[in-house]
Amino acid sequence: MSKPIWYSGLHAVASLLRHRPEAILEMYVLESRAERGEDRLSRVCDEAVQLGVTPRPVGRDALEKHAGSQHQGVAVRARPRAPGDEQDLQAHLAGLSHPALVLVLDGVTDPHNLGACLRTADAVGADAVVVPRRNACGLTPVACRSAAGAAESVPYFEIGNLARTLDQLRDSGLWVVGTGLGEGSQRLHDFVPEGPLVVVMGAEGDGMRRLTRDKCDYLLEIPMVGDVESLNVSVATAVVLYHLAAPRLSSAG
């Protein structure tokens, strides 16, 4: 079993209480904010008590020792979320009643970027986020804080062989859409999404690996009219996902 880690921030802690309260081992709240009865913190504390978790008021030094400076007055020590694997991913997608939308992050190593990508995936209703098990960022405390709760709500899978998984997803009827410049690439806004999709975003700086690119049915590029040549991967992910998820977002609204 993985060693417990500290999660901090109101959204991250609230999401833990909502999705995995049994994983929480202890909870610290900043005593000065608790005494003031701040609404958002009070609501999180009330929910914790209802779920059998007792918030412990502590001083700022004690809280920052475990959670760093960006804690928003609350932190919990909890068992980390166990990611799904290749078999779990296939079973999860097979159980969907609608065309799947899967986000694949090919080697994203910055936890802030992973957290932001998870947050966007949650916002557009993506059915899964898939990352390689090696040479990529996992669900670290920083990633979870940056995800603002989405690290618990979005189905998340870590796999050993990305190329093989993409082949399996294609064999299951999903179209694999990569992002980047190259022969045969088309402008993002000229692409009309139809059917179940796997959206592959490349790593910071280098983009998708060649083997990953070779598995793509389509290659899309984000139009750029200014001097900047590329976007941060989390920003690019938001642009691409919101375009490709437009049909499901329209029907949901």
Q: What one-character DSSP code corresponds to residue 37?
A: T
In order along its 253 residues, the chain shows pLDDT tens digits of 578 999 999 999 999 999 999 999 999 999 877 666 678 889 999 999 999 999 999 999 989 988 887 788 899 999 999 999 999 999 999 999 999 999 999 989 999 999 999 999 999 999 999 999 988 889 988 899 899 899 999 999 999 999 999 999 999 999 999 987 777 789 998 988 888 999 999 887 777 888 888 899 999 988 888 777 778 899 999 999 999 998 878 766 5
Q: What confidence score (pLDDT) does residue 143 get?
A: 92
Distances (CA, A) of 185 to 8, 219, 222, 239, 243: 41, 5, 10, 17, 16
Q: What one-character DSSP code corresponds to residue 51?
A: T
Q: What confidence score (pLDDT) does residue 157 get?
A: 97
Residues 59 and 110 in one domain: no
Question: Could you give the CA distance from residue 76 to residue 232 in angstroms, rounded to a whole number?
Answer: 30
Residues 92 and 34 in one domain: no
Domain count, the chain: 2
**DSSP annotation string for 154-182:** S-EEEES-HHHHHHHHHHTTPEEEEES--
Distances (CA, A) of 214 to 16, 86, 206: 38, 20, 15
Per-state percent for the chain, helix, strand, coil, to nearest 5: 45, 20, 35
Residues 190 and 100 in one domain: yes
Question: Could you give the CA distance from residue 237 to residue 213 in angstroms, rounded to a whole number?
Answer: 16
Q: What confidence score (pLDDT) does residue 36 get?
A: 65
Residues 127 and 247 in one domain: yes
Tell the burial category of 82 from Cβ atoms under 10 Å away from its Cβ (0-12, 13-18, 19+).
Answer: middle
Among 78, 96, 131, identify where a domain stops: 78
Residue 173 maps to which CATH number?
3.40.1280.10
Among 22, 54, 78, identify where a domain stops: 78
Question: Could you give the CA distance from residue 16 to residue 24 in angstroms, rounded to a whole number?
Answer: 8
What is the three-class DSSP state of 29?
Answer: strand
| Burial profile 108-122: b = 16 or more Cβ within 10 angstroms, e = fewer | bebbbbbbbbbbbbb
Q: What confidence score (pLDDT) does residue 57 get?
A: 93
Residue 70 maps to which CATH number?
3.30.1330.30
Q: What confidence score (pLDDT) does residue 128 get?
A: 97
Residues 94 and 180 in one domain: yes
Residues 121 and 69 in one domain: no
Residues 192 and 102 in one domain: yes
Residues 180 and 72 in one domain: no
Residues 125 and 245 in one domain: yes
Residues 74 and 91 in one domain: no
- Structural domain range at position 190: 86-252
Residues 90 and 32 in one domain: no
Residues 61 and 186 in one domain: no
Q: What confidence score (pLDDT) does residue 35 get?
A: 63
**DSSP annotation string for 207-252:** BS-HHHHHT-SEEEE----SS-----HHHHHHHHHHHHTHHHHHHH
Among 78, 94, 128, identify where a domain stops: 78
Could you tell me the two tokens for 217? 């049915």
pTM: 0.90
Distances (CA, A) of 188 to 39, 103, 218, 250: 42, 16, 10, 18
Note the Cα 24 to chain centre separation in Å. 20
Q: What one-character DSSP code corresponds to residue 136?
A: S
